[in-house]
Amino acid sequence: MQKRDIRSYSLEALENYMIEIGEKKFRAKQLYGWIVKGIQSFDEAVNMPKGLRVKLEETFLLDNVKIIKRLSSEKDQTTKFLYELWDGHVVEGVLMSYKHGYSICVSTQVGCRMGCTFCASTLGGMVRHLSAGEIMGQLYAVEVALGIKISNIVLMGSGEPLDNYEAVLQFLKLVNDPAGYNLGMRHITLSTCGIADKIEALADENLQLTLAISLHCANDAERTALMPINKKYNLERLMAACRYYTEKTNRRITFEYGLIAGVNDTPERAKELGMLIKGMLCHVNLIPINQVVERNYQPSKEASIAAFKKILENYGITTTIRRELGSDINAACGQLRNDHLEG
């Protein structure tokens, strides 16, 4: 029998479990305190009776995410991790070190089924969803291995977070729980390719996280060619969901726009983008695309990026250019895992 995934449990669920097995309720709080510290074995929970630790060991899987590879960038403060899950599947993540602390990029699915043509995560399709506990497990694995505390989380690893909505929402609640991991929602960014109805559902949760939309193109025909999800939720539908999100939460949306030379980086494309989003509570993050060998896409030249930025600014849109991090360690989504699977 597959053991139960204890890192997905809320404090309340642990309390119910303790009561169910005839233990005192306060044991749940003790255990929860250990879990959010990232213990890898129940024996580390030293204030729990030995008998209970044995029972927990028999019932639950604790150490559900193991680091099997670590690559540090020579160029910048970026480390890439390959993790193995309990069933042997692998996902990847990145840790970035900034002046204000550590930021981690986590995966939400093994592979991805969204099919974006520039993205390496989707090449083999989606294998399975991650549980909330497996997303938490990525934080614990890195914190324990490096002896650090993470201060920012981006859901931008492999997978589409809103295609795994229940688990991702549970993860957000766990990571934010003041009685547990206690990371403020404002330190979390969720990135989506644009699943409009789930954006609206998330808005209704009224969490103060940052929503990032992978836009990449501002006309329907070309966006559909790059991102098949646009067939289901076109730009009009997506923008309606984004407006709903900002109205409900008062949070500024980030539009991510990966610039691919000769594909979506021309002045015409910049004007289209300006027209589409001007006046919205938003900013644009321009990303020189990481080259993916399986596809024939090249990053835009610096001059095209600067020109694109200038046009957006003429529409009154705050625009930043993302620093390219970890390009020497295959830091773009899915690239390390693909190397691993092929190797």
Q: Which positions lie near ligand SAH, rule CB under 6 A?
A: 116, 118-119, 156, 160, 191-193, 214, 256, 258, 287, 289-290, 292, 332-333
- Minimum gap (Å) between residue 191 Cβ and ligand SAH: 4
> To which residue do tokens 């990571």 refer?
175
> To which residue do tokens 């150490």 refer?
63
What is residue 149's three-state secondary structure? Answer: coil
**Residue 40 or residue 117: which is nearer to ligand SAH going by CB?**
117
- Minimum gap (Å) between residue 305 Cβ and ligand SAH: 13
**Residue 40 or residue 291: which is nearer to ligand SAH going by CB?**
291
Buried b (16+ CB within 10 A) or exposed e, 66-78: ebeeebebeebeb
**Residue 48 or residue 155: which is nearer to ligand SAH going by CB?**
155
Q: Kindly give the pairing relationship between strand 188-192 and strand 210-214.
A: parallel
**Residue 6 or residue 116: which is nearer to ligand SAH going by CB?**
116
- In 166-227, the DSSP E strands lie at 188-192, 210-214
Whether the Cβ atoms of residue 131 and residue 5 lie closer than 8 Å to each other: yes
- Minimum gap (Å) between residue 73 Cβ and ligand SAH: 16
268-275 contacts, C-beta under 8 A, 24 or more apart: 269/217, 269/218, 269/219, 269/222, 269/308, 270/307, 270/308, 270/311, 270/312, 271/311, 272/218, 272/219, 273/215, 273/218, 273/312, 274/311, 274/312, 274/314, 274/315, 274/317, 275/218, 275/315
**Residue 230 or residue 249: which is nearer to ligand SAH going by CB?**
230
- Minimum gap (Å) between residue 105 Cβ and ligand SAH: 8
| Annotation marks residue 92 as catalytic | yes
Q: Catalytic one among 116, 119, 282, 333?
A: 333
**Residue 79 or residue 192: which is nearer to ligand SAH going by CB?**
192
Distance CA 309, CA 88 (A): 43
Which amino acid type is present at position 307?
A
Angle at 143 between CA 84 and CA 330, to 5 degrees: 55
Distance CA 171, CA 136 (A): 7
Sign, CA dihedral 130-136-139-144, equals negative
Distance CA 25, CA 18 (A): 6
Q: Catalytic one among 15, 23, 92, 272?
A: 92
| Annotation marks residue 324 as catalytic | no
Structure-block tokens of residue 101:
């602390």
- Minimum gap (Å) between residue 183 Cβ and ligand SAH: 19
- Minimum gap (Å) between residue 261 Cβ and ligand SAH: 12
**Residue 172 or residue 292: which is nearer to ligand SAH going by CB?**
292
- Minimum gap (Å) between residue 147 Cβ and ligand SAH: 28
Q: Which residues are catalytic?
A: 92, 333
